Amino acid sequence: MIKVGIIGSTGYAGAELVRLLMGHKEVEIKWFGSRSYIDQEYADIFQNMFEIVDAKCMDDNMEELANAVDVIFTATPQGLCSTLVNEEVLNKVKIIDLSADFRIKDVNVYEQWYGIKHASPSYIEEAVYGLPEINRDKVKNARLIANPGCYPTCTILSIYPLAKEGLIDMDTLIVDAKSGTSGAGRGAKVANLYCEVNENIKAYGVASHRHTPEIEEQLGYAAGKECIINFTPHLVPMNRGILATSYAKLTREVTYEEVKAIYDKYYSNEQFVRVLKKDVAPETRWVEGSNYVDVNFKIDPRTNRVIMMGAMDNLVKGAAGQAVQNMNIMFGFKENEGLCQIPLFPA
């Protein structure tokens, strides 16, 4: 049994961490951190936790927390975790950061895209990008995990096998993605009000979304060369889910069987990545509430392109579920512990 602390436990990702960890056999949550709700009962904020969580919200004192737990999850806005991390803390406790503070290896790129000064750049190189299907061995011995973003997780996992095998021209890669409104966080914003979002779909962050360099960096590692993409996210009127559809030119003529074999090479032993049957397109409704990512592809011989598709729950595999998956690997638990929920339908 390990002790866990959560900083940012009352955001959407933080609440999802609580939900998943309450069903984890090897974990006890000792610290429900929330700067906005200090001393308030957690179950008063999230009534679904009534008679399940009997604890009050606490502050974000990383120094005190590091003495009380074995691992800290920081489900906080960009910039906060980097101000709290230091050597004294990391010598006592493992940290899994759900923000972008340690995902991008070039601090100048981070500061350019996020518009803030990085408070602890000396830890960027050490931080492990926590995508288990790709970096499992590195995650095992890490003390600081950069939990991937939601859009990057879905996009990278749907493209990675073909990028790694050199089957697509990375210079032609275009990513079109859609997300539910929970991806924008729990803070009050006019653009996310019901009347603003309902019966509407819109592109946002066009040619400027902060997840772009994260996707480029990771796919660049896979392809073995610099990767520059067009990434366009869209907001759709649903609570959860991400659908990413990516397009790229093929580098040679291929058959369905060849491409399917490549996906199976990378994912046949991965519980949480499901390669769908031929001509079955991923849908968000079949992964909602779960840690699964459904991926598939379609070859278009007319244009010499391949369409790569992925669907997942942005709050689970795109945030809290992946963080728990990383924790399981770090502490030697079964990787699927606390993550075997069957997708909800209807939700």
Q: Per DSSP, which regions of the chain are E strands?
A: 2-7, 27-33, 71-74, 94-97, 128-129, 144-146, 174-179, 202-203, 230-235, 242-249, 273-275, 293-300, 305-312
Read off the tokens for 70.
């074995």
Q: What whole-number distance in Å separates Cα of residue 198 and Cα of residue 274? A: 31
Question: Which residue, chain included where needed, has tokens 């590091």?
Answer: 66
Task: Give the burial class of 138: count Cβ atoms within 10 A of its Cβ; 0-12 exposed, 13-18 middle, 19 or more buried.
Answer: middle
Residue 108's alpha-carbon distances to 44, 213, 214, in angstroms, are 42, 11, 13
Q: What are the b/e assignments for 189-212, b being 16+ CB within 10 Å? A: eeebeeeebeeeeeeeeeeebbbb
Residue 323's alpha-carbon distances to 40, 135, 196, 319, in angstroms, are 25, 13, 31, 6
Q: Residue type for 42, please?
A: Y
Per annotation, catalytic residue among 81, 150, 154, 227: 150
Q: What whole-number distance in Å separates Cα of residue 131 and Cα of residue 153? A: 7
Q: 30: alpha, beta or left, given left = phi > 0 and alpha = psi -120 to 50?
A: alpha
Alpha helix (H) residue ranges in the chain:
12-21, 42-45, 62-66, 80-84, 87-90, 107-114, 132-140, 150-164, 194-197, 212-223, 256-267, 321-330
Q: What whole-number distance in Å separates Cα of residue 114 and Cα of residue 120? A: 15
Residue 206's alpha-carbon distances to 12, 230, 232, 324, in angstroms, are 24, 9, 5, 31
Q: Residue type for 22, please?
A: M
154 catalytically annotated: no
Catalytically active residues, by annotation: 150
